Structure 1
Amino acid sequence: MRKTPSRRRATSPSPDLPPDVMARRVARLSRAVRDRRALEILYGGAWRVVHPHALGETGTGRLGLLTWQTAGRTAGPQNPGEGWRMFDVARIEDAELLRATFAPRPREGAAWTAGIERPLAEVPSREAALEALADSLALPAAEPPGHASGPAPEPDRPPPASDSPVATAGTPPDPAPSAPPPAPQAETPPAPEPRAPTMARSATKPAAKPARAPTPDRAAMARLGAVLQRGATPDRMTREVQAVVDELRAAGGEDADAVRTWLETLRDGFAEGAESAAEQADDVDRSDAAAVRQSRNALAALEATRDALDAALRG
């Protein structure tokens, strides 16, 4: 856990954040909800570790984040450190995605969005998450009891009948006299096996597996990233996004859900990239004019890419 900064607990009304700041925050929180990633958030001057279950508009018209808090400050000394918490998104001072994932809490009602009237993102039910985990493992079905995978054993054969009149049950018959062993013969050394030529052995080597083609969203991500690395302007990135969107829709055909999923993946990825670029721009030395100009241009191009993808999703 991070050390709580020495600041007074916030009790003022929810601030009105700039649209670009709110868009970056919503993108990061939505990704945490969809991927079931634990979050460490700074809220009211205290760090908390939470499992986000739903994000959306509350009855008051504000954006809320419904979470199961696992550690951090609580609302009062009588409240346990673990339990359901609703956080005002505009009052979240900082949020970091952790590597840990979580299993959804058991639902007590029909939906996770208790207190959220219009959800933007929510985790699947606990049952659906466990079924998806089982499908990903794809374990082979167990064989029924009594079924052996090897060859069936041969049935017991009755012992051979004995001609001896004194043979009784449980007493083996007298063995028949054995023939004298044959005379030993001189061993002949085996002929050396012919060695296969090197070319013949190399010809039997299995061929390498062909590389798997990237999915459409990954291919589009690589294409847009390559254009960004060449220092493209915001207008250039907007046109490139439009070309990528047209190609994705052609590849998806009538599967509108697949196309939307690809676009959401791209939008969230570049939203996170724009957020990281904004943080890096704040750390640039202001006395280095070239570095400041370069960081601002990169941030503008990333924001234009994110906005163009978001517009394609709304269109």
Structure 2
Amino acid sequence: MSENLLQLKEVKKYFPIKKGLFYKTVANVKAVDGVDLSIGQRQTLGLVGESGCGKTTLSRIILRLIKEDSGSIYFNGRNLCAANKKELRQIRKGLQVVFQDPFNSLDPKFRVREILKEALYALEKYETSEFEDRAVGLLDQVGLGRDAIDRFPYEFSGGERQRIAIARAISTNPKMLILDEAVSSLDVLIQKQILDLLLKLKDELQISCLFISHNLNVLKNFSDRIAVMYLGKMAEVAPALRIFSEDNLKNVHPYTEALILSGVRRKVSLKGEPESLLNIPSGCRFHTRCPYRKDVCRKREPALELKKNGHFIACHFR
């Protein structure tokens, strides 16, 4: 476990659908269905997939906001699945999150001072002057001035609120940040500013990141490796340079290829809507939308296998 900061093995989470007089389980939503992932020290993994594929459920499992049905999760050498509440409080100092909507993740009744105080005091007790210096230092790190400390979240723009959320996340000196669609609610110009800030902080603080997005282009210049999720499973995990190499386009998973082409051409090259997690097709989960499908794709599900140079892919023909 020492080589990887975060290690997931065969993680599953099903949500039962219950109906009838006796509230019996009639089906399961297979939100996360046997996921393996690893993130090394000071490494960024970009996790991409369409809405509803299980990305956010996976992040909530890692953060211990919901419990997995089976599998193992290790962070910094510690078994998250076996940790008690007291242990989790300590672990969470090293594992922080920035959510998609900063307005909902920041308490509107609190000034920025109280928002940062709540996070900082979880780490240690400060004298008033020490806290003030630390809080102002955090605001400076994210590009906000001292005057921000006594304002409420509603007084800031969306991009500024996300900067406050980032300041709160880095206040505990974490080893890893989970960025759950952290820029998707922002316009393109503000997205770039926040991405530049995150890149700067990642290098300065020497932290690892799990960056979750439905937009592959957002992850392009931020990630060391890319994991592609489809209907609760990993379709592909590879170095970012291999995913985005034009010469390698026909060697990536057909779903990844479609995502790349969608970004280049500014139009969706995928046909049809993704199947439901409640009704996953037999065989390859992508075969109903794949332009390269053959009969074997309908009958047999491909395993996620190492092809070469750290490139894992679940496809019979790639």
Q: TM-score band (shorter)?
A: under 0.3
Q: Which structure is higher in strand share?
A: 2
Structure with the bigger RCO (C-alpha within 8 Å, sep 6+) is 2
TM-score of the two chains, using structure 1 as the length reference: 0.23
